[in-house]
Structure 1
Amino acid sequence: MENGGAGVGLISDKRAEGSGSSGQELRIVDLLYHFKVKSTKTGRGVNRHSLLLPAGTKVEADNGEPLGPSAAAVYRCNSQAELPPSSSSQQDSHCGFHSIRIVVHTILIKSQRHITKKCLPARTSPTSAPALPPSPPTSSRPPPRRCSTTRAPAWVSPSTLIAPSLRPRIINEAKADLATYLDFSPEQYEVLFMQGGGTGEFAASMYNLVGAWVSRQHAAVQKELGEGAADEAAVLAALRQRIESGLKVDYIVTGSWSLKAYQEAQRLLGPEYVNLVCDARTLSDDGKKFGKIPDESTWKLSKDAAYVYFCDNETVDGVEFPSFPKILEPKEDGTGGPIVVADMSSNILSRRIPVSNYSLLFFGAQKNLGSTGIAVAILKKTFLPPTLSQPSPALLRKLALPIPPIVLQYEIIAKNNSLYNTLSIFDVYIAGQVLKKLLATYPNGVDGQQAVAEKKAELIYAALEAHPEAYKIVPDKSARSKMNICFRVIKGGNVDEAEKAFLKESTALNLTGLKGHRSVGGIRASNYNSIPLEGAEKLAKFIDEFARA
């Protein structure tokens, strides 16, 4: 018994090769589940029969001992004593036979398409195999049954989800559906599936957009020097001067996540190059809490910054930009304007966004797109070859600038259609299924989902506002998030006790996950796309009843 990788069990029927072998692999004489078996010839002319099992398959011997799927399990025997305890098979000149029971537990995917099983009576052993005495009973398990598996869509099965030939199709369909749903042009923007989550994109966005700035400056210096561009020392000197006087990255800090991104840029690039456009904490009474977005007239933007960064929705603090900042909009003719980067991890797919205003937007998939495991970057193609190439590591090293890890380099990821390194393709598949469901539910794209999201948020905020004596909404009304509704329970004056009671009673009604982020406390209702309108109505009703009690 052997195992393949990625949760695919591999069963072998092979005799040990060479007469000098000290042991023999046990021969499988009966497969009690009917699956397609692939037979190949090895280099030494030995038949090898492989049985591919679905991801998540659990394999057991007939004594109940688990044989996989994560660790290789090969029974070898030199004598009767080394056979598995449950075996009572008679020995032959090849050490003996042993029946293996394969128990398949199929994982159902929670989507509009499920993997289903149709179980049939147990299959008898092949007639070519010698008869075996029955194994003694070791458990109360029911008699073995064989299963045939049906799937939809036809081209997807548990094994094909990890097949290299199918990965591009899964990726390309998800990319196309994302562009359709958000209404942007695939000709102008590249969709990248990456790993590392939003936190990984804090670094990736800085590395790539600073690299793009350096490439533009390098081209400008070479043009400026003309024939002198052949002098490497002169080019480097001019570049260093431009870096010292002009390299800036701008950060608009309105909550915990944009603060983390700002701190990461300082750590990787150096604080001398990172400009704090505004810090929303300065608007609070104690200078420590987030809850408002500073007026754009107070923003201190750098001239010709490599990029301007903001987080569109702050999950911890319940702060969301109501719309794209006017000060960052391109000119009326669509040209000019700063290079804008946005973290949309928690509100992507929930409202229409002017994608053309952004050079880069990214998001983790786990809030509105699917499961954890992937991050998505939507990058303007003018930041990719042939229009623009990243500077070489050698040049960055000479300029004392950070060199990005290759798995965070957008140019490399785009060139390889997100498959430069091993991608969590199952998570991409889930994201693709979510997009297909959204497009089927809302034929007009994101506008339909936006209407539902706004309705849900209105219900909850209205219930809170109706009882100012019992609740205090944390963020300012001008910046309230529709995805993360943060509030405190002040009923009775003892906030801690009131919130404990609120959480206890809500949990009893199956209204769960309402506890605020550990860094700020309070109550937080996360109103993501997966929350139905009925769920928001139920929460609004409870908010009202708790206040009246």
Structure 2
Amino acid sequence: MGKIHNFGAGPAKLPEEVYDILKDEFTNFDGTGISIMETSHRTPTYFKLNKEVQDVVRNLMNVPSNYKILFLSGGGQGQFAGVPLNLISRTGTADYLVTGAWSAKAAKEAKKYGKVNMVLPPTDRYVDIPDQSTWNLDPNASYVYICTNETIHGVEFDSIPDTKGVPLVADMSSNFMSKKVDVSKFGVIYGGAQKNIGTAGVVLVIVREDLLNQALPICPSILDWTVNAKADSILNTPPMFAILVMGRVLQWIVKKGGLDKMAELATKKSSLIYDIIEESNGFYYAPVAKAVRSKMNIPFRIGSPTGDDALEKEFLKGAEALNLIQLKGHRDVGGIRASTYNAVTLEEVQTLANYMKEFYKKHAK
């Protein structure tokens, strides 16, 4: 079949070196002679893994000591409810900046539990983030919510908003561990692992301790950060295999040079694709404003700003013939989307770039 180049947006590619480690551990985890999937979560063996993964998260992101690190279930969408259930009680209101499909879904969910102020409202087209000087933030809000990188639309915050002391909550599902961030500027950071730091099944939540003990009475225990923090993320049987995979991926990031190296590669990989788009005289079209273009998810159209259906189908067919897979854009927006997460190598992105050049030469008028 030949080497597969997987540009899927999630579940996404895992580092090949991690597969090699998991193969050895799959049936003999930590010398136990059994798999992690049949190991009790109440054993010293699992307690050791639980701490090990927390430690690598804390060290990689330089997480301050007054933040708890949680491993939860329910996916990113579970935290669409988890955030307001845990935080909105203080004032009953929250600010949401909607910059794409996922923050729009989060805002819609939050309305079930309190008043939501749409600082940036939902729209039919997400292509930019207005300057903060135009935002109307509520100083009485319980929190301000953003999605730092919109996987579907390819919009990424280029800086951390100043929320004037109101806790900032960030869904980082698709750019977690792709660069350094100052954790102390956030009240809560969370993300599903299956895009950039592991496989589906676990959500990583980093929450400042002073934001605990505020959950609404109706908050289910499984979503209550305080309850889970007290249980050290072992309230019930956790998604142990997904936590193992996440830990091995994060250890791989450390081995490869840490977050500075991931950021350097992210810039190189995304620039390869964006440069071709810019030099194509409109044959390839990236809808997102340059200042907020994602380095993780690159959506584009072919032939025109709205896309040429026949050309895009031919592009995808030709890509698959070269083992360049999962490039079809999300069903909500269409077109093409290349996800260049940490595990996607520079060489793989260069292969895609070469194909884009050849396709342009063949079809551009």
Normalised by the size of structure 1, how large is the TM-score?
Answer: 0.60
Question: 1:197 matched to which residue of 2?
Answer: 75
Q: State the Cα distance separating 1:391 from its structure 2 match.
A: 6.2
Could you list the runs of 5+ residues in structure 2 that have no partner in the other structure? 1-17
Match of 1:308 in 2: 144
TM-fit CA distance, 1:304:
2.1
Amino acid at match of 2:320: T
68, 84, 92: which is aligned to 1:206?
84
CA change 1:494–1:297 in 2 (3 A) is: closer
Query: 1:112 is paired with a residue of what secondary structure?
Result: helix
Structure 1 CA distance, aligned partners of 2:304 and 2:311? Answer: 6
Is 1:377 aligned with 2:205?
yes
Matched residue of 2:76: which SS?
helix
Percent identity of the aligned residues?
38
Q: Which range is displaced more, 508-517 or 482-491? A: 482-491
**Which position in structure 2 is the counterpart of 1:416?**
231
1:170 aligns with 2:49: yes
1:431 to 238, 246, 268: 246
- Relative contact order: is structure 1 or structure 2 higher (C-alpha 8 Å, sep ≥ 6)? 2
For 2:33 and 2:270, locate their aligned partners in 1 and report how far apart those are by CA, in whole Å.
37
Spell out the pairing of 1:286-365 with structure 2 (5 A cutoff): 288-325=124-161, 327-328=162-163, 337-365=165-193
Q: 2:221, 2:227 within 8 Å by CA — same for their partners in 1? A: yes
- Matches of 2:152 and 2:336 in 1, distance apart? 10
Q: Deviations over 1:22-60 (max 9, x none)?
A: xxxxxxxxxxxxxxxxxxxxxxxxxxxxxxxxxxxxxxx
CA–CA distance in structure 2, aligned partners of residues 160 and 312 of structure 1: 33
Given that 1:276 and 1:300 are in contact with CA atoms closer than 8 Å, whether structure 2 keeps it comes out as: no
Residue of structure 1 in register with 2:8 after alignment: none
Change (3 A) 1:491 1:203: closer
SS in 2 for 1:115: helix
Q: Which residue of 2 aligns with 1:134?
A: none
Q: Answer yes or no: is 1:407 the counterpart of 2:222.
A: yes
How do 1:31-430 and structure 2 match up within 5 A?
110-115=19-24, 151=28, 153-154=30-31, 157-158=34-35, 162-163=39-40, 164-165=42-43, 166-185=45-64, 187-211=65-89, 213=90, 247-266=92-111, 268-270=112-114, 273-279=115-121, 281=123, 288-325=124-161, 327-328=162-163, 337-384=165-212, 389-390=213-214, 393=217, 403-430=218-245
* SS of the residue 2:120 aligns to: strand
Q: Confirm or deny: 8 A CA contact 2:85 2:216 kept in the other structure.
A: no
Distance in 2 (CA, whole Å) between partners of 1:293 and 1:491 is 23
Of 318, 323, 339 in structure 2, the residue corresponding to residue 505 of structure 1 is 318
AA paired with 1:178?
Answer: V
Is 2:172–2:191's contact at 8 Å kept on the other side of the alignment? yes
User: How far is the alpha carbon of 1:501 from its aligned partner?
Assistant: 0.8
Looking at structure 1, the residues matched to 37 and 78 of structure 2 have their Cα atoms a distance apart, in angstroms, of: 29
Structure 1: how far apart are the matches of 2:206 and 2:23?
30
SS of equivalent residue, structure 2 residue 88: helix
- CA shift for structure 1 position 114: 2.9
User: What amino acid does structure 2 have at the position aligned with 1:256?
Assistant: A
> Deviation at 1:516?
0.2
Give, as a single letter, the amino acid of the residue that structure 1 aligns with 2:201: G
Letter in 2 for 1:276: M
CA distance in 1: counterparts of 2:306 and 2:107, whole angstroms = 37
Superposed CA deviations along residues 399-422 of structure 1, whole A, max 9, x for unmatched, are xxxx11111000100010111112
Q: Which has the higher helix share?
A: 2
Instruction: Decide whether the 8 Å contact of 1:255 with 1:316 is kept in 2.
Output: yes
Deviations, residues 104-148 of structure 1 (Å, cap 9, x unaligned)? xxxxx824353289xxxxxxxxxxxxxxxxxxxxxxxxxxxxxxx
Helix, strand or coil for the counterpart of 1:269? coil
Task: Give the one of 463, 488, 501 matched to 2:301.
Answer: 488
Counterpart AA for 1:526: S
Secondary structure of residue in 2 paired with 1:302 = coil
> Runs of 4 or more off by more than 6 Å in structure 1?
491-494
Task: Give 3-state SS (helix, strand or coil) of 1:191's partner.
Answer: strand
The worse-fitting range, judged by mean Cα deviation, of 306-315 and 472-481 is 472-481
Write the deviation string for residues 316-372 of structure 1: whole angstroms up to 9, x where unpaired.
Answer: 1010001212x32x6xxxxxx111000000000101111100010100010111110
User: How large is the RMSD of aligned CA atoms in angstroms?
Assistant: 2.2
Q: Quote the Cα distance in structure 1 between the aligned partners of 2:351 and 2:63.
A: 35
Post-superposition offset of 1:383: 2.1
In 2, Cα distance between the equivalents of 1:390 and 1:478? Answer: 37
Q: Residue type of the partner of 2:214?
A: Q
Q: Distance in 1 between matches of 2:86 and 2:306?
A: 50
Q: Distance in 2 between the 1:528 and 1:371 partners?
A: 13
State the distance in 2 between where 1:503 and 1:365 align: 27
Determine the C-alpha separation between the residues in 2 that align with 1:467 and 1:174: 44
Q: SS of the counterpart of 2:127?
A: coil
Residue 538 of structure 1 pairs with residue 362 of structure 2 = no
Q: Give the gaps of 5 or more residues in structure 1.
A: 1-108, 118-148, 214-245, 282-287, 331-336, 394-402
CA displacement 1:428-447 (0-9 Å, x = unmatched): 111111111111121xx211
Q: Which of the two has higher C-alpha Rg?
A: 1
Q: 1:517 aligns with which of 317, 326, 330?
A: 330
Q: Distance in 1 between matches of 2:209 and 2:25?
A: 41
Contact 1:486–1:523 (Cα < 8 Å) also in 2:
yes
Counterpart AA for 2:157? F
- Write the distance in 2 (CA, Å) between the matches of 1:493 and 1:274: 32
Paired with 1:454 and 1:423, the residues of 2 have a C-alpha distance of: 35
